[in-house]
A and B are shown apart, each in its own frame.
Chain A
Amino acid sequence: MALDEFLEELDRLTAEALLTFTAAGDAEALERARVEFLGARSGRLKNVQKSLANVDREDKPAAGKRFNDVKTAIESGFQDARQRLIASGPSAAETAGLDITLPGSRPRLGHVHPITRTIEDLKEIMGRLGFSVAAGPEVEDEWHNFEALNIPQSHPARDPLENFFLATAARHEPAAGNSPGGKGPSGSQGGDRPLLLRSQTSTVQIRVMEHAEPPVRIISLGRVYRPDTADATHYPMFHQIEGLLIDRHVTMADLKSVLRLFARSYFGGDVHIRFRPSFFPFTEPSVEVDMSWNDAWIEMGGAGMVDPNVLRAVGYDPDQVSGFAFGLGVERVCARRHQVTDIREFYKNDVRFLEQF
């Protein structure tokens, strides 16, 4: 074969190869083009290489050199086309999908205080039993905190050292008409003396009853204050939740049954209730309530039938209506549920404590 024929063939092959590579739209087309031109056994470049043998002997060096240039040009043309396709198509990472083992960015969530959580739980359980929430003032007068609750002046609970009486109390004149029996001095009679921080939430029960006719079905809850030295199980401020049901024909069997429903709801599983006789001035009979748990009896709180003197104090007729009341200390319930051993932690508000709930 003449040299210039051979060289022309090489030029035509180069042009065609480069055109075909450029025109390849995707990886498959490019691969077909590669096989056609650069295929190891029957690619066109290979065929041309075979026809190199037909070139005249004295032209072979020039032809051989030209052939190598063309080979390099076609191969680099292929690589360029390949790079072009990679750059414009989806990346490896994308074609492989999402890596779900990578950690997410974690937002910092806040925490509701465990006492609030406990109160909300208890409210919700009692709500399902038909008890609505009632709230009242934390600064109370003596009628609501003592006299209406059948705690006479001589009772040790009224001792100045057992209560947080306010210094402002000394500046007020005794209100006229502050007599026991009949409705209290709030509202109609006026002359409420804010005298002390309430020592029990039963004050709220009195406030509800003196303004409403039976039936009454409430839970009163909130903070109460007693001058106890703070230690692992006592604090001068704590939370109580008290239930009250007044209607015609309410009995101690109703009390025990409601307490059992409450305990079963709160602890799950089968729970039994036990009464032990006790004494509170505002209930008669009065009992301590235990519930069964893991073959042992644990103390739940106090309860009883509302004392007729209390019913009369709020204007009810004890021969027409009867009712029960029960109370729990929220801190104790919360501490037991979450195994908190020192109730002072609840009021330190250390974030390391709060964020565990």
Chain B
Amino acid sequence: MIVSWNWLKDYVVLDIEPEELARRLMMAGLNHESTKTVDDDLAIDLEVTSNRPDCLGHLGVAREAAVLCGHPLRLPPAAPRESQPAAAELTRVAIECPELCPRYIARVIRGVRIGPSPDWLVGRLRTLGISSINNVVDVTNYVLMECGQPLHVFDLTKLTGRQILVREARTGERLEAIDHKTYELSPGMCVIADEQSPVAVGGVMGGAASEVSAATTEILLEAAQFDPASVRATARRLNLHSDSSYRFERGVDPEGVDWASRRAAQWIQELAGGHEQVHVAAGSVDVGRQPAPRAPVVLRFDQLRRILGIEIDPAEVCRILQALGNTERSVVFPARVDYRGSSPAGQAADGGAVEVVPPSWRADLTREIDLIEEVARIHGYDAIPEDVSVPMATSARSIEDWVLAEVRQVLTAAGFDEALTVSVVEEDWSAAFSPWTDAPPLVEATGDS
């Protein structure tokens, strides 16, 4: 994931050098691959592990930086100026395959003027290695890279029936995607369709026929959630991958889908004609499963010592969890904390605990052990000592090892070199070395002896 230094500064105060930020992010979980200069900006390439899809956008990385630098996160506004008629009067959405697409949000924006994007937007996309297409498409890419939620825009007039049907593809259906290649679709793949035919491969790529062109004035803005396994399977089968499919494969923030939709609508309104010309229909057509509230998780303070081997002040633990977006529901501080005790018996009977509700963008935080990891990585693993004494134990050498060592010694003394060959061999090789046979014996056994 490449992040722009200038862009990050929109969301958090960065009063440290870029190298220092990269180092802190690396020591908290985002490996620093490289930093390159692009015009007057820096492109910082960070490795994001598959359990942290929240960091596949600048806001997620900025949140990490905010926690590590002790500054607040500035969340930008996502509020377009809405007007009548409402979106529900201008379009319809139906989901036939909720297991492939649990949620679909459509917004309708009319009166847009397609044109070039402003320089600052083109520059930020360029830092990330993304080409500018036009103001509306660029906004969808911008918001994708801002919060990690993939978006798509259709020319509403090119959707037959001006509505969306989310369904499985049928055998024999084909789609020319915006990369101008044609793909064979099959059942099991989720497609976005209009009354007639598929207009997009769900979560992967939009179709060319309905894409925004210079003449477009009415658009349908899609923000949706797709099943990760289904998107991965579809992308593999079609050999078609995108920044969108990458994020859906890892899971998106259920509460962020609508935010991204509003944020993009706000930008499109501002950049494609202003609120006088561009009408964002009020509300949205929001179909499918609404985000469920997250279950609370309890972290017992004495478990930190038990797992990590170090003491961490409970107040610090609570600070870290809150800064990461966990909502504290209740906390009981330990009655007595023995920082010098080295065995669990030396600690207070009641070690205290904190109960939090994890944020919607962290699907990976569901258990106490997950919270322990969060506290540890922010507190810093350098606090864990490398010189505690480990109990001694004996080890046994197996007979097999002993025999192999003898065999090796004899054979190398006799002048043989040891070769390691690939385990998997061709069938005729295997047959050549197999002594088994069904052929009749060379000497017949005599009847009874």
Chain A residues engaging chain B, CB cutoff 8 angstroms: 107-113, 115-116, 120, 123, 126-133, 135, 138, 153-154, 156, 159, 161, 197, 215, 217, 223, 225, 236-237, 247, 249, 251-254, 256-261, 272-279, 284-288, 305, 307-308, 318, 322, 346-347, 349, 351, 354-355
Interface residues of B in 198-230 (CB under 8 A from A): 228-229
Q: Contact residues of B with A, CB < 8 Å?
A: 26-29, 31, 49-52, 228-229, 232, 236, 249, 305-310, 343-344, 367, 369-370, 372-373, 376-377, 381-382, 384-398, 400-401, 405, 408, 411-424
Using CB atoms, name the residue of chain A closest to B405: A120
Distance in angstroms between the alpha carbons of A160 and B380 in the assembled complex: 37
- B residues in contact with A223, CB < 8 Å: 423
Which of B31, B229, B373, B408 contacts A285, CB < 8 Å?
B373
What residues of B have a CB within 8 angstroms of the CB of A123 in the complex? 401
Contacts of A138 in B (CB 8 A): 423
Residues of chain B within 8 A (CB-CB) of A107 are 415
Bound together, the chains give a CA A133 to CA B395 distance in angstroms of: 8
Closest chain B residue, CB of each to CB of A286: B373
Cβ contact within 8 Å between B249 and A110: no
Whether A354 contacts B307 by the Cβ 8 Å rule is: no
Q: In chain B, what residue has the closest Cβ to A115?
A: B420
The answer on a CB contact under 8 Å between B422 and A355 is no
19 pairs of residues in contact across A and B, judged by CB atoms under 8 Å: A110-B418, A112-B418, A130-B393, A132-B398, A215-B393, A251-B305, A251-B307, A252-B309, A252-B381, A254-B309, A256-B384, A275-B382, A275-B384, A277-B381, A278-B31, A284-B370, A308-B367, A349-B421, A354-B419
Q: Are A257 and B387 in contact (CB under 8 A)?
A: yes
In whole angstroms, what is the CA distance A305 to B384 when docked?
Answer: 13
- How distant is the Cα of A287 from the Cα of B171 in the complex, in angstroms? 45
The interface residues of chain B lying within 8 Å CB-to-CB of A112 are: 408, 412, 418
**B249 x A277 contact (CB < 8 A):** no
CB pair A277 B373 closer than 8 Å: yes
New A-B pairs, 15, CB < 8 Å, besides A112-B412, A276-B381 = A109-B412, A110-B414, A110-B418, A130-B395, A133-B401, A156-B232, A217-B395, A225-B424, A253-B384, A261-B390, A276-B27, A308-B369, A346-B420, A347-B422, A354-B418
Residues of A within 8 A of B26 (CB): 276
In the complex the two chains form, is B417's CB within 8 Å of A351's CB?
Answer: yes
* Cα–Cα, bound, A249→B344 (Å): 9
Interface contact B308-A256, CB-CB below 8 Å: no
Min CB–CB distance B374 → chain A (angstroms): 9
Q: Which residues of B contact A286 (CB under 8 A)?
A: 373
B412 engages A272 (CB within 8 Å): no
A347: B residues at CB distance < 8 A? 420-422
Q: Residue B408 contacts which of A116, A153, A278 (CB distance < 8 angstroms)?
A: A116
A223 CA to B387 CA in the complex, in Å?
32
CB atoms of A275 and B381 under 8 A apart? yes
Residues of A within 8 A of B417 (CB): 110-111, 113, 349, 351, 354-355
The reply to whether A254 and B344 form a contact with Cβ atoms under 8 Å apart is no
- Residue of B236, B393, B418 with most partner-chain A CB within 10 A: B418
Given contacts A108-B415, A156-B50, A308-B367, contact A253 B307 (CB under 8 A): no
Provide the residues of chain A in CB contact with B236, threshold 8 Å.
Answer: 159, 161
- Point out the residues of chain B lying under 8 angstroms from A120, CB to CB: 405
A275 CA to B384 CA in the complex, in Å? 9
What is the minimal beta-carbon distance from A324 to any residue of chain B, in angstroms? 10
Chain B residues in 8 Å Cβ range of A322: 306-307
Q: Contacts A109-B412, A109-B413, A284-B369 known; A153 to B229 CB distance under 8 Å?
A: yes
Q: Are A237 and B392 in contact (CB under 8 A)?
A: no
Contacts of B381 in A (CB 8 A): 252, 274-277, 287
Q: Give, as a whole number of angstroms, the nearest-CB distance from B203 to chain A.
A: 15
Top 10 A-B residue pairs of the complex, sorted by shortest distance between their CB atoms = A253-B309, A251-B309, A130-B393, A110-B412, A277-B29, A275-B381, A285-B373, A279-B49, A349-B419, A277-B377
Given A132-B395, A161-B236, CB of A272 within 8 Å of CB of B373: no
Q: Are B51 and A279 in contact (CB-based, < 8 A)?
A: yes
Contact call B50/A113, Cβ cutoff below 8 A = no
- Which residue of chain B lies nearest to A154 when distances are taken between CB atoms in the complex? B229
How far is it, in angstroms, between the C-alpha of A44 and the C-alpha of B174 when the chains are bound?
132
Residue of A nearest to B412 (CB): A110
Contacts of B232 in A (CB 8 A): 156, 159
Closest CB in chain B relative to A55 CB, distance in Å: 82
Partner of A237, one of B396, B411, B422: B422
Greatest chain A CB density within 10 A among B51, B308, B390, B394 is at B390
Q: Which residues does chain B contribute within 8 Å of A237, judged by CB atoms?
A: 422-424
In the complex, which of the residues B52, B305, B387, B398 contacts A279, with contact meaning CB atoms closer than 8 Å?
A: B52
A251 touches B50 (CB 8 A): no
**Residue among A237, A252, A260, A355 facing the most chain B CB atoms (10 A cut-off):** A252
Specify the chain A residue showing the minimal Cβ separation from B228: A154
CB distance from A135 to the nearest CB of B (A): 8
User: Do A133 and B393 contact each other (CB < 8 Å), given the known contacts A109-B412, A276-B26?
Assistant: no
Distance, CA A284 to CA B370, complexed state (A): 7
How far does the Cβ of A148 sit from chain B's closest Cβ, in whole Å? 17
Contacts of B422 in A (CB 8 A): 236-237, 347
B418 close to A258 (CB less than 8 A):
no
A113 cross-chain contacts in B, Cβ below 8 A: 417-420
Residue picked from B309, B386, B412, B422, most chain A C-beta under 10 Å? B386
Given the complex, which residues of B lie within 8 Å of A108, measured CB to CB? 415
Closest-CB distance, A327 to chain B (whole angstroms): 16
* Closest Cβ–Cβ distance, residue B420 to chain A (whole Å): 5
Q: Are A249 and B50 in contact (CB under 8 A)?
A: no
CA distance A322 to B308 in the complex (A): 10
Q: Which of A123, A130, A225, A285 has the most CB of B within 10 A?
A: A285
Closest B residue by C-beta to A155: B50
Distance A247 CA – B359 CA, assembled complex (angstroms): 33
Q: Which residues of B contact A307 (CB under 8 A)?
A: 369
Given contacts A116-B408, A276-B27, contact A256 B386 (CB under 8 A): yes
CB distance from A156 to the nearest CB of B (A): 7
A129–B384 Cα gap in the complex (Å)?
Answer: 20
Residue of A nearest to B380 (CB): A275
Q: What residues on B are CB-neighbors of A215 within 8 Å?
A: 393
A195 → B minimal CB distance (Å): 15
